[in-house]
Structure 1
């Protein structure tokens, strides 16, 4: 049996690339307990470049690809070391790190489906002296799945078992919902944009990485014609399982709209906020009609304008933060990747086929040994 006091460290940088979330977690009776967490900033130049590549604005040759993989890996290692130093935890106390990496492409459909996350895990293992489990999505994609979302298993563990259906809503760069059935069923999918387009438009027109308190969107008015055109995108009508990312919903996608040039930037921002809220609410109504409540996590919980609009559109379902149940909304994803590292160490499946569409449960991730483990 595994020691219940064993520590795992989860690392995640999401679609918005607004920082590397790190969480130090132990598991008692299989349930996660958060000991410490922090968000480690990206260097501005590296973040700008990663977003440009993810949105198809910059192409890489093989040498540049290799250098970027190492640069991202070093930043992930820095995040892990910063958390351990702040908490006074020695590396030897951590059984494994679970690193999601930074997604640059996610193409789970087509003749050659693939998903690509950078952040060389061998660099993390070498620098931290801790075994690293990484590359969690590809085994699910190889089994015919979407490779995402991977959080629903943890959502069910922490927030399931209710007498009525419940939805857990993750508001990252992309939004995804987990539907927790009263009878124990679990499924989920990416609904479309959450913060990603809002952040990118704000960066372009305000020079700020995100719309603080939703003030930019609140200063404009939603344009119904642009909104309906955006909602006509085929992704929204696809049935689950489905997943998406910046390679689909990016500024070039928005700029194909001929009406865009006629609108003030603030009105576009207001329309993008309504796009996020409407697409989430419509997906929830379609696939979780009987849900009693919706519990939100991720960076979007800090946007009061988005949360207020979601609360209106999701009625009669009550909208709240996972904080209501003692679960930090900023670090639930990082906790999930600590759990995925534990699953990999124990040789247990990490995916839910009902969510991803994979042919069956799969042990996710590859294990990269720290130098002492490799030689000793």
Structure 2
């Protein structure tokens, strides 16, 4: 194995729980060589509140978004510092680049004018200034400009890490939104967004229990899934759309949930939580059966992999398919997406296309991301 190059990957997803960062090593061709160190830092409550508010239109959005992008850059820089302070970590000058996702506040590809847009808040120039390292960010917009969905971007990385052994395999990342990757020997990866991951469950438990998330799915375990509410939730047209498709909090947000709740009789809050967990599990399982019936296993990453109730329901709904966290294949569940954005940065600095038209629907492969030199 060659010595490779060092990259940092930074990810803050639609769960809005904070920033995951990895310092990892990649070959010049993007070949995966492994994580050296991982760090996580929650968003400060005030920043999380500001970012949550920006998920919907409001007054003075340009000003608030610009300041939030600065704050995200500072939060990212803090995680970079944590990575480089780790024992035996190299100095900043040894890191080729940072791949930084930013915080998605709108995702509307193909809408409005035929092109649409996707917005991830991050002042990449400020992050380069604070870290002293080249920054690659705004990684979705080029794919959208080429007629693609701009998401998911991780299937090509999944192929490099979890493929190559001659077996068909499915990988689902469960963050705020759930997205599925399908790997088959000799074929390009496929992938798309399934629907809500943790976003609605997090909203509901925060509203009724004051918790940021349902730890291990413990609250959902205490309730009963309501079949009538579940049927109304699953009637959402997005679930029936063919791939390529992507979604976000633009669709699956509290004001999507509320009228579907109001259409039925009163339910105990715990039963709503259980039903929302079942919605996430059903949407994923339906897509796996439809799109990856030949898979030999389902690997799960993201925060949803830590929800015991959700993992149990996935296994129950897919009884013939082993459901395992990605740890079983050598990459811990909370490192996968950050590592993918390190990989995307490596592809950008080496001028290699990283998008997969079979996944996003773009007119062709494109070099993704904007570069802010240190």
Q: Aligned residue for 1:373?
A: none
Q: TM-score normalised to the size of structure 2?
A: 0.95
Q: Aligned residue for 1:128?
A: 131
Q: Aligned residue for 2:93?
A: 92
Q: TM-score normalised to the size of structure 1?
A: 0.95
How does 1:59-208 map onto structure 2 within 5 Å? 59-87=59-87, 88-110=89-111, 111=113, 112-208=115-211
| Per-residue CA distance 1:27-83 (angstroms, 9 max, x = gap) | 1462231100111111001102212321x2645432222212111111111111121
Q: Aligned residue for 1:46?
A: 47
Alpha-carbon offset, residue 114 of structure 1: 0.2
| Residue correspondences, number | 367
Alpha-carbon offset, residue 172 of structure 1: 0.9
Q: Aligned residue for 1:226?
A: 229
C-alpha distance in structure 2 between counterparts of 1:223 and 1:215, whole Å: 17
Does structure 2 retain, via aligned residues, the 8 Å contact 1:172–1:300? yes
How does 1:336-355 map onto structure 2 within 5 Å? 336-355=340-359
Query: 1:341/1:213 Cα in 2 relative to 1: closer, same or farther (>3 Å)?
Result: same
| Per-residue CA distance 1:341-374 (angstroms, 9 max, x = gap) | 111110001111110000001000010011xxxx
The runs of 5 or more residues in structure 1 that have no matched partner are 371-376
CA-atom RMSD, angstroms? Answer: 1.4
Does structure 2 retain, via aligned residues, the 8 Å contact 1:161–1:184? no
Alpha-carbon offset, residue 221 of structure 1: 0.7
1:161 match: secondary structure? coil
C-alpha distance in structure 2 between counterparts of 1:206 and 1:344, whole Å: 43
Determine whether 1:305 maps to 2:309: yes
Alpha-carbon offset, residue 329 of structure 1: 1.1
C-alpha distance in structure 2 between counterparts of 1:61 and 1:198, whole Å: 27
C-alpha distance in structure 1 between counterparts of 2:340 and 2:65, whole Å: 27
2:185 match: secondary structure? coil
2:192 match: secondary structure? strand
Which stretch of structure 1 is more off in the superposition, 104-113 or 239-248? Answer: 104-113
Does structure 2 retain, via aligned residues, the 8 Å contact 1:164–1:290? no
Alpha-carbon offset, residue 310 of structure 1: 0.3
Q: Aligned residue for 1:7?
A: 6
Q: Aligned residue for 2:258?
A: 255
C-alpha distance in structure 2 between counterparts of 1:50 and 1:63, whole Å: 13
| Per-residue CA distance 1:194-231 (angstroms, 9 max, x = gap) | 11111111111111100011111111111111100000
Determine whether 1:293 maps to 2:297: yes
Match of 1:365 among 365, 369, 372: 369
The runs of 5 or more residues in structure 2 that have no matched partner are none
C-alpha distance in structure 2 between counterparts of 1:61 and 1:181, whole Å: 44
1:116 match: secondary structure? strand
1:150 match: secondary structure? coil
2:26 match: secondary structure? strand
Does structure 2 retain, via aligned residues, the 8 Å contact 1:131–1:369? yes
Determine whether 1:240 maps to 2:243: yes
